Each structure stands twice: as C-alpha cells, then as structure tokens.
Amino acid sequence: MGQLVHTLPEGEPVRGVTLLAGEIYLLRRKERDQVEVYDVITYRLQRCLTVPDAREFSDMTSCKHNRCMYIGDYGVECVYRLDVQGAVTQWAVSDTPWGLSVNAAHNVLVTCFAVRKIKEFSSHGDLLRELTLPVITPWHAIQTRSGQFIVCHGDLGDPVHRVCMTSADGRHIVHSHGGQPGSDTDQYDVPHHLAVDDNEFVFVADYNNRRVTLLSPTLEYVRQVVSRDQLKGYPSCLYLDTRQRLLYVAVDKREEGGLRGYAAVFSV
C-alpha cells in the first residue's frame, strides 16, 4: 500500500496535476490563476498562471521535451498549450476532449469519450491521426513503447467498466481487466485516469470505488496501492513521478456547498 507523503491545499476542484522542471503544476476549476505552481521539494506555492477565457477543464499533462503543459477544455472543445513562463496558445479538437497524455514521439493524445476516439496532435496542434476505439466512453489513453494503447473506459449506466490494451491501430483489444461495474478486485466503477511506470505497470484511478489499483503490463491485478481509507474523496487524475516513485492523486470531495478538491502525494 502506498504511504501518504504530503497533501496539497484544499480548494476549488482539481482537474489535473503534473510535474515539469522541478515544479508541481496543479490545475483548478476557477476563473483565473487556475494553474498553481508548487516547489517539488518544499511543496510551497511559487506562483499562479492564468488560462484566459477558459470554461471547463478536463485534464492536464506535460512534456519535458517541449517544456510545456497541455490542458483540455471540454467547454470550448480545445487544448491549451502553456509554457513554463505562462504563454498560452490553443487549438481546436472539434470534439469533446477529456484525458490527455504525451507519447514517445512528444505528440499529444486527446481522448474524446463521446465519439470513442483518440486524436493525436503535434505539439502545436496539427492533427496527425484519429483512432476509433472498440469501447464505450473512453476517458483516458496512454501509448506504450510498443505502440499499443492502454485505455480506461466506462461511465454510469455503461454495461462494461474496465482497462484495456488495444492494438497500435486501436481496433482490437489485446488484454483487459474489468467487466461489469462493481467493487471487487477485478471490477471498476468508472475507471477514470491512468499512469504508467517505466516497466509499464499501470496505475488506475477507480473513481467511484475511491481507490487506485495497480495492474501488471498485461493488465493482471497486482494490488491496491491507494485505498478509500487513505482518500477523503474520489480520485479523478493521476501523475506518477517515476524517478522518485511518487504518485500524485487529484481528489474530488463532495460537500453540501458543492465540489472541493485537493491533491495527495503517495510513495509507491
């Protein structure tokens, strides 16, 4: 089981967390100063960055090669490119973007749940290809070194909630874990976000079960790494610092006044 190392401040709901250049970037749902930047050692707030005219964030990821973050906005169906100095550009996705990741070619993978697609863009927004997935309601996808895709899918009312590995063209399921929604170790209830380590073990944010599960590279169950007892809410996004073996978990807290959010750091 992972051990809690630190908790970043509670506030507006957290829609993404990532690391870049020795700093933690936390994305919150608010009108301005949406990106909070913390020191990775002291966890002290360093500065805030604003994404102008943003509406509804879905996810955030980073690219060390291009020294920037990418932020999905499903309210205006676009992706923002935000550099470490705070300069912002954007491009249209033309579908509802949800989960974001960066592949080995430093391109951006945007998972579009409504049309069951992965769209691959260059760092500056050129559409390179689209893949249609054989699953219902895909939330997040990560491409492996071999070119296959790991995808988590399933929303409330869907008959299947699972994590799949697809072929490189996205058409065929090679491995899977899950099935009917539930709370057993081989079940999920809205598996929402993924992280993959250097050995291609897979961390899964199981949203409504309020836990994080670890799977083998062939998607066999290994263990639970964060339990519902360790979380004060529902895990929505993950980021894994592979060097330090630290897992950053964005958590939704449901309160009478609405959603609140924070990020917890676990040693895994």
Query: What is the per-residue pLDDT for 257?
Result: 77
Cβ-proximal residues to 55 (8 Å cutoff; 6+ apart), any chain? 73, 75, 76
For residue 9, what pLDDT band results from cuts at 50, 70 and 90?
very high
Check whether 86 has a pLDDT greater than 90.
no
Give φ, ψ of 7 to 5 degrees. Answer: -125, 125
pLDDT, tens digit (0-9, with 9 covering 90-100), for 212-227: 999 999 999 999 999 9
pLDDT band at 50 (very low <50, low <70, confident <90, very high): very high
Q: Which domains does the chain have, with CATH numbers?
A: 3-267 (2.120.10.30)
Residue 46: burial class (beta carbons within 10 Å; 0-12, 13-18, 19+): exposed
Quickly state the pLDDT bin for 235 (edges 50, 70, 90): very high
- Does the pLDDT of residue 25 top 90, yes or no? yes
